[in-house]
Amino acid sequence: AQSVTQLGSHVSVSEGALVLLRCNYSSSVPPYLFWYVQYPNQGLQLLLKYTSAATLVKGINGFEAEFKKSETSFHLTKPSAHMSDAAEYFCAVSDRGSTLGRLYFGRGTQLTVWP
């Protein structure tokens, strides 16, 4: 089974600072990789996903993530944090060779943005 590790259950940044949320996966075959965001009292929505050769993926709201096979990582970044970015962020993976479409989620990182 896939395994996803999100380093840091809580991350705090000042408004305007760089946001870096870390995600590492465990499989030897690179999976499909996703970042989802959950705003308070809402369901999850997709920020971005990696499914092809382009290793730098741009998503919504100014977020991007870079797939690094050598580091088995898919870290999420945003150059300048905004108060509205405060939310919980989940990294997820699915098996590239599978037709099941099953997602395996990390434990989540709560992002706090200070004014």
Binding site for other proteins (CB under 8 A): 1, 9, 31-32, 34, 36, 41-46, 49, 51, 90, 94-103, 105-108
CB of 107 to other proteins, least distance (A): 4
- Sequential DSSP letters for 21-90: E--EE--SS--EEEEEEE-TTS-EEEEEEE-SS--EEE-GGG-EEEEEGGGTEEEEEESS--GGG-EEEE
Residue 115 Cβ vs other proteins, minimum distance, rounded to whole Å: 26
Q: Which distant-in-sequence residues (6+ apart) come within 8 Å of 46 by Cβ?
A: 34, 35, 36, 59
Residue number with CB closer to other proteins (35 or 85): 35
Which CB, 78 or 104, lies closer to other proteins? Answer: 104
* Residue number with CB closer to other proteins (19 or 108): 108
Q: Is 103 helix (H, G, I), strand (E, B) or coil?
A: coil
Q: Closest separation between CB of residue 33 and other proteins, Å?
A: 10
